[in-house]
Structure 1
Amino acid sequence: MLWRGIKLDKKDTFGKSDPFLEFHRLVDGGSYQLIHKTEIIENTLNPTWKELKIPVNALAAGDNNRELLIRCYDFDTMNDNDLIGVFMTTPAELIGCATESTSRAFSCINPKKTAKKKYVDSGKIELLHCKITRDYSFLDYIFGGMQLNFSVAVDFTASNGNPTEPGSLHYINL
């Protein structure tokens, strides 16, 4: 996945924000579990983060309609990170972007600002690109018909020397 921020809120006094994203999935019991954190892009309101590679199973845990909470923060070295905003999605929606080859912009909402009358959002977070690839396991190759030949060789030559003597090629110092 490739994500970017558009016109994010400025959180720093003497500069712009230093945004990063956190991806959380809903777990049994109603809490959220952190599954990925992007790198921090310094001093910008329009970041483009490096491409992410997150296994679908980490996002969905077998349920593509499971809620994903994505939080956008401004990194602070001295204090707690400042929340820019959050949005919700599902793995199914992200997969839909991959199959349709379209981008999708999400409104980044700061819950503390929603009471203000003129508040619309704290910027947009856009999914520019999403691609699903399958990583094949060893068993996938075997079940697919791949044939293997296995050979074992044992070296019985005495020319390597006695393994208990330091001059031997197979000496083990215990």
Structure 2
Amino acid sequence: KQGKHSTKVANLLGAYHQTYVGSLGKKDKGSKIIIKSESIKESNQAIVMSVSCEGLKSKKKNFGLSSTNHPYLLIKRCQGYETSDDDFETALTVYSSHTLHDTLSPAWNIGEFPVQYLCNSDLDIPLIFEVWSFQESKDDRIYGRVRGTARHFIETEGEAHSIIKKQGNPYGTMTFDKFQLIQRPTMVDYLRSGWIISLSVAIDFTASNGELSEPTSLHYIDPYNPTKMSAYESAIYQIGSILEGYDSDRQFPVFGFGAKPRFCGIDEVSHCFHLNGSENPQVEGVQGILEAYRYALANGLGLYGPTNFEPCLSTMMEFISGRKHLAEYNIMLYITDGAITDLEETISAIVEASHLPMSIIIVGVGNADFGKMDFLDNDGSLLKDKLGKVAQRDIVQFVEYKNYATDISLLSEDVLREVPKQFVS
């Protein structure tokens, strides 16, 4: 651990050129953190990009008797429109390629690159393309750079650009074999073309929610005031009402997990059971979910454990896999008190589910530690399972229900914040 630093957002935005420098510990240690901030501009556009180089000058070693040439590509975005040599040090790295080995003619097929990340949706922001050579036993060496704007590279697609080092000497050429601006379809575009959204629900009935007869239980129904909703019912109603309108037929498969569903004729722990007690888990609308929930609680449901997410997720994945030919996107809603016990298995299932047309929204109820849920909603990087397999895309969104007690209007925005991006990714 190198240290830590805390500050306010106002300090980040007020820093010179929005570049904030803070200490990571004792001043005599000299460790610092540099934070660059900017306002993000949303865009549905992307650049389809492929880059190749020719004539790179060989990097010598062992007194020139042999060479090491393992090139990789960095793309950097400048902080402003005016450029200088200092930009090489202060520019923000937005892309790093894989390393190619033993070649002076590298090529990288980058594919679709959202302009939001490439140039913050501004085609006239200067970009820097740097070609480096990986060195095992010393610092990596740079071949040189190409500078220009996205607009310039679009207009000069297919032309060769000189790769220049700081001294101004050419070190080969870089060609943007493909640099095309495209419009990416939005979630609304898909829905207009006939796609539908389907909702399913999984509810946590583990013992960590508290004994059903205790007023402190998250599943407690007051016998003297039966119209008062439990904590779970409030979450089901508020969030289900948000998502219900996106489901065209309002038929929701609803599951429970972590309990003994005696109303189903089962007196052992089940990690995925039909909450309505029927062979068909579908109910109609949010009201149907609430009715199935009350039916289960009133007919011998025994809270148990552990809290395993994977069985319900795998059940829905199997269902979705059989319907991939349909224009249907699935949202699976988990409502839980947060004490997940099969984290590794769930991560593996999420990695597999990332290849299917689905998103997972996890809603935390109560006051438990939701650290593991934040880990599943791994914004900024993709989940990786224990075998090293990486998710194809981010499909998990986590919200903590109690954070919206004073302003329920914000719940709708946060629940749906990531779904449109996940839908089109």
Please show how residues 106-125 of structure 1 align to structure 2 within 5 Å: 106-112=161-167, 114=168, 119=169, 121-125=170-174
Contact 1:160 1:169 in 2 (8 A): no
User: What's 1:103 paired with?
Assistant: 158
Give 5+ residue unaligned stretches, structure 1: none
Q: How does 1:78-89 map to 2 (within 5 A)?
A: 78-89=137-148
* Shift, 1:52, TM fit: 3.7
Offset of residue 36 of structure 1: 0.3
Identity of aligned residues (%): 17
Unaligned runs of 5+ in 2: 1-48, 82-86, 197-247, 256-260, 274-302, 307-425
Report what 1:4 is aligned to.
52
Q: Mark the CA change 1:88 to 1:160 in structure 2 (over 3 Å): closer, same or farther.
A: farther
Give the C-alpha shift of residue 48 in structure 1.
Answer: 1.6
Over 3 Å counting, the alpha-carbon distance change for 1:169 and 1:125 in structure 2 is closer
Give the match for residue 179 of structure 2.
130
Task: Name the CA distance, whole Å, in 2 between partners of 1:167 and 1:88.
Answer: 60
Q: Which structure: greater helix fraction?
A: 2
1:154–1:57 Cα change, 3 Å:
closer
Residue 139 (structure 1) shift: 3.1
Provide the C-alpha distance between the structure 2 equivalents of 1:167 and 1:91, rounded to a whole number of angstroms: 55
Q: Which stretch shifts more, 152-161 or 57-66?
A: 152-161
| 1:14-63 Cα deviation digits (max 9, x unpaired) | 12521111000012596310000111111111112233432111122121
C-alpha contact 2:68 2:135 (8 A) present in aligned 1: no
* CA distance, structure 2, for counterparts of residue 76 and residue 84 of structure 1: 13
**1:18 is aligned with what amino acid?**
H
Equivalent residues of 1:161, 1:169 under 8 A apart: no
The secondary structure found in structure 1 opposite 2:252 is coil
Q: Which residue of 2 aligns with 1:45?
A: 104
- Alignment RMSD (CA, Å): 3.0
Against the structure 1 CA distance between its residues 61 and 153, is the aligned structure 2 distance closer, same or farther, given a 3 Å change threshold?
A: closer
Structure with the larger RCO, 1 or 2 (CA within 8 Å, 6+ apart) = 1
Quote the offset at 1:167 in angstroms.
7.2
- Displacement, 1:147? 7.2
Inter-partner Cα distance in structure 1 for 2:195 and 2:69: 55
Counterpart of 2:188? 139
- Kindly tell me the number of residue pairs found equivalent between the two proteins: 161
Bigger strand fraction: 2
List per-residue Cα deviations over 1:93-136 (Å, max 9, x = no partner): 23335xxxx41211001113x3xxxx4x1000111123444332
Write the distance in 2 (CA, Å) between the matches of 1:92 and 1:32: 18
TM-score of the pair, normalised by structure 2: 0.34
Secondary structure class of the residue paired with 1:72 = strand
Q: How does 1:53-92 map to 2 (within 5 A)?
A: 53-92=112-151
